Structure 1
């Protein structure tokens, strides 16, 4: 009982920590893009992150050699879809659309994930109240991003970002570690390495995305290091651990928790303004989460009122 409660609280704290560090990645990426082309930046970020995780895995005595389909399947699926395809398509799309439009389109991830999960993982589902919460959360993302509706569907960038959202959902739904023999840290190191190789290959193929287009400064190199270590190595290690424990639907909802952190971090660090619609967006996301997690909230309040202690993990 006690261990399950501790695990539940630990997962909640890790979930919020992940949303926070991934929220900082948006303004940090914006700062680094001043001196690095987007796809090259992604390749460098995940190459450094993979090297760091491999070093930690080796230093702590973890096995590093994949053995059979149980290891290679999540490595290739997570690496190709969540790291490589998602970021390559997203960065390519951001050459055509604004960050607000990209953020709004990525907000479709929690909407698409339950539908895909219902087809391929029918053991996991979401209630009608949960669906309403997901849609309310999406409204909150729209309010925070505040995209221009006249430009939302006009160019190829929209379809590239949509494809990046689909790639992310595919990776989340089909990355299964149940049969893996490798420890989680080693699996995540390999996933980041596979994704980094894919991004490096794309940077060589796309005009203006190679090393020749970079003009690094001390500040931008520090941002690259930050992106590699905190949102990169730490962020994806936590993401895939929580994905294994909580499932794709729960983890898809993190796309609704990230925008508030991104907005606040941009306001604090980059002097970006917070519009009144941002506050309304925060409220809509919070209300959406309460709807999705209503059964858990109700149980918590009932046990607090009855004095029976904290709820057990679900």
Structure 2
């Protein structure tokens, strides 16, 4: 599929502006998952880490002891997660769709949909979730970034099972957070270098606005910490060549995409997380290139403990 023909859409990205980190990212511990690629990490209500691995397992890890429990096996590739108060987990499974893992470990498909990415649930059991791409899969997600397909979506599943598309044309829909008062959603557009807010209630209900724009990297999964901050995993810095190609005639991207993989533009491997207040003001920008961890696809904070997940690592990292 790497040689699949891309259908480029032209887009002029904002000029790259990077004020640099506010501090170093320091990994204090690594917690083995027993597998590979914990793409998303979240905390349950007891402060334990939930992650999904490439072999389909949903695992729970005690961050203090490293004790690990397998909660379920989805039979697919888990991505975004939401920990329920009853001990169950909602899972965006790349291969299966939106899943419910019950406390007893049984798994049910709630919505069969391509490339679901992240999920949250409201107090009335309404579920919102993102989908990244209708044209590309996880293994070939860079095809979507090169193509700029804008086929990501924001969807809602009502308690009666009705599924509604709230927004489409997203630039690789990804991380998703529900406001504490459930008045709005925040969602990341990885290929748009931005985070937007979609209002659910109040005078602006139904309106969507940009909260944070012109990020210097690709935002991935997001998490609302107990510290009240929006934590964002930055999977990689923006690629200057790609930014130059995006507004130009599409055949140039086709040429670059069809170069041998070894010479195509690649993501720079580093560990990078950011945190913002809910008005979009930057609070933390933490980075490292020391090799202690890389390709951060998720970050979550709970009572001062900060955990990272990655597509390319075997372990969950805990920051000092």
TM over 0.5: no
Q: Please give the range of the TM-score, normalised by the shorter of the 2 chains.
A: under 0.3
Higher relative contact order (CA closer than 8 Å, sequence separation 6+): 1
Between Structure 1 and Structure 2, which shows a larger proportion of strand residues?
2
TM-score by length of 2: 0.24
Looking at CA atoms only, which structure, 1 or 2, has the larger radius of gyration?
A: 1
